Amino acid sequence: MEWLGVRFLRSLAGTWRFSVLDEENLASTSAGSKGHFVALWHGRMLLGVAHHGSTNWWVLVSDHQDGDISGALLRRFGYRVIRGSSTRGGARAVREMMAVLGEGAVVVITPDGPRGPMHSIKHGVVWMARATGYPIVPVGFACDRAWRTKGWDRFTIPKPWSRVVMTYGQPIRVEKSADEDGLRLAADSLRDSILAAEQRGFDSMHEAKDW
């Protein structure tokens, strides 16, 4: 059944009118093959799957059972997967991330996943940015027509032939000297940056935001 899901998603994504805004914000972190994090909302993860597949992108996926399906799907699209969460496999995941980031890879994180609440920022992502010294690139997604589930993240599935806009925000760096207040401010900045990126996407289509 897994291959049927991948085939369906490839076919569906092939109909989307996909565009990218502010891609220079991603390119600015890549000079000299420097690794970095990419942060996007859990409910938007499907929108970019087909775009960055088969690149040196790794995705942090929950080490719980609910991460098994996501991990299998991502591998089918050419991503590499790191399993771990704040409550399970966290130390191992950090070691893996440090290794791949040092090789210039991109590590994708959904800071409000896997259980929400929607648009929340778990401090793990800013803690990891502080610990590793690598920046976080906020990414927002917008689309004009979509199915949305009733789950906590309102998981977004763009309809056939819909417009999808991916917007990169400016990289966020967390100083190694940041204390708890500094981490909180970094988390707030990341949340605001992802939402602002999504707003720019909706504005570019002259569409109202969906949150």
Q: pLDDT tens digits, residue range 17-62?
A: 999 999 999 876 654 457 899 999 999 999 988 887 667 789 988 7
The tens digit of pLDDT for each residue in 128-183 reads 899 888 999 999 999 999 999 999 999 999 999 999 999 999 999 999 999 999 99
Q: 58: closest CA among 5, 23, 32, 95? A: 95
The answer to whether the beta carbons of residues 120 and 179 sit under 8 Å apart is no
Q: Give the chain's domains with CATH numbers.
A: 2-204 (3.40.1130.10)
Neighbours of 110 (CB within 10 A): 22
What is the separation of C-alpha 180 from the centre of its chain, rounded to a whole number of angstroms?
24
- Going by C-beta distance under 8 Å and a sequence separation of 6 or more, which residues neighbour residue 5? 73
CB environment 151-184: b (16+ within 10 A), e (fewer) = ebbbbbebeeebbbbbbbbebbebeeebeeeebe
Beta bridge mates, 168: 139
Q: Is the pLDDT of residue 4 over 80?
A: no
Residue with tokens 């998981």: 155
CB environment 17-45: b (16+ within 10 A), e (fewer) = ebeebbeebbeebeeeeebbbbbbbbbbb
Its pTM stands at 0.89
Higher pLDDT, 97 or 16: 16
